[in-house]
Amino acid sequence: MNTRSGLPTTSSGDKICVYCGNNADTKDHAPPRSLLLPPLPSNLITLPSCQKCNNGFSFDENIVRAFLSLIGAHPHLKGEREPGGWLERTCSRNPKIREVLESSRNADGSYKLCGLLLESFVRVFLKTTQGMFYGFYDRLVPVEKLKLIRVEDQRSIKPEEVISALRPNPFIDITDQPLSEISPSSWHMREPIFPVELVDPNTGHKYRRVFRLVRDTPVEWIRFQPDIFGVAFVECEDGCACVVDLWQTLIVTVKAPWPGDRGPLRKGKNNPLSREKRT
């Protein structure tokens, strides 16, 4: 597959579904339209998909959307759960959605992610991460390499705090590392070095270590709709994480492989990370 030539294709020239790798005969969108607010944003990413994958997530997406409506802090979501509102109409049309929501309800009226509700979250956000990966980085990522690791309530934690927890320790012990070459473009010119005197708590013996402070690169949030859907890719110890800021309500994090050292690859005006200069 030529990852620099646009949509992925097989050796015979057929387009490949970004979710399962089978032949694509339709198109899907990322983020899922069900998680956005009409009118849809102009920067919605169009992806090649097979009919099975395109239709196979609809119920799960409706479950996630209904759960957001049920617990959401966003003013629009609060209106949706009013008597006679969108949530009540949706549950009336599809009683299975109501059953899934009720099965996750605690005795005190709060909700927890478990059972079928959790399964829907896993399927929706692994799929969403696959779409984001292709849309931003021109990478096809098998679902087996993704893992939903965190779903958190924004009433108790902020997106910036989640990102700080995901990032590796910026201080690297370089005491025993061989001296590296110093040049105008080397890391020594950008990152400070700290000699530190430490004390062994058992013996009282003092010893010195040298640490390098690796400066974090700023996280670039791509806001498809302000306060409704934003996504950021964050480098972690052994890969990266796709962090979704969802409706001022939830923060969803999916662990993924790092897309590569060359950074954003996919071209086009609809890719916010494209290297192409947009007018």
The domain segmentation of the chain, as residue ranges, is 26-164+218-256, 171-213
Q: Helix (H, G, I), strand (E, B), or coil: what is residue 51? A: helix
Dist. CA 48–CA 143, nearest whole Å: 16
Residues in the chain: 279
- Residue 191's pLDDT band (boundaries 50, 70, 90)? confident
pLDDT at 101: 96
pLDDT at 272: 55
Q: What number of other Cβ atoms are within 10 A of residue 62's Cβ? A: 19
pLDDT at 103: 94
Comparing 160 with 167, the larger pLDDT belongs to 160
Rounded to whole angstroms, what are the CA distances from 136 to 157, 229, 260? Answer: 27, 16, 12
Q: What is the pTM (predicted TM-score) of this model? A: 0.78
Strands 222-225 and 206-213: unpaired
For residue range 108-153, what is the model confidence (pLDDT) as tens digits?
Answer: 989 999 999 999 999 999 999 999 999 888 888 999 999 999 999 9
For residue range 207-254, what is the model confidence (pLDDT) as tens digits?
Answer: 888 777 666 677 889 999 999 999 999 888 778 899 999 999 999 999
Choice among 54-68, 83-97, 191-205, 257-271 with the minimum mean pLDDT: 257-271
Mean pLDDT of the chain: 84
pLDDT at 247: 96
- The one-letter code for the residue type at 262 is R
pLDDT at 270: 53
For residue range 62-71, what is the model confidence (pLDDT) as tens digits?
Answer: 999 999 999 9
Dist. CA 225–CA 270, nearest whole Å: 14
Comparing 278 with 15, the larger pLDDT belongs to 15
Share of the chain above pLDDT 70, in %: 84
Contact, 203 vs 259, CB < 8 A? no
**Res. 266: pLDDT tops 50:** no
Q: What tokens appear for 72 in the block?
A: 């959401």
pLDDT at 215: 65
Helix then strand count (H, E) for the chain reads 7, 10
**Res. 51: pLDDT tops 60:** yes
**Res. 172: pLDDT tops 80:** no
Which residues lie below 8 Å from residue 146, measured CB to CB, with a gap of 6+? Answer: 126, 129, 130, 254, 255, 256
- Residue 277's pLDDT band (boundaries 50, 70, 90)? very low
**Res. 4: pLDDT tops 50:** no
Mean pLDDT of 25-36: 93
- The one-letter code for the residue type at 167 is R
pLDDT at 260: 66
**DSSP per-residue codes, 115-131:** HHHHHHHHHHHHHHHHH
Share of the chain above pLDDT 90, in %: 55
pLDDT at 262: 44
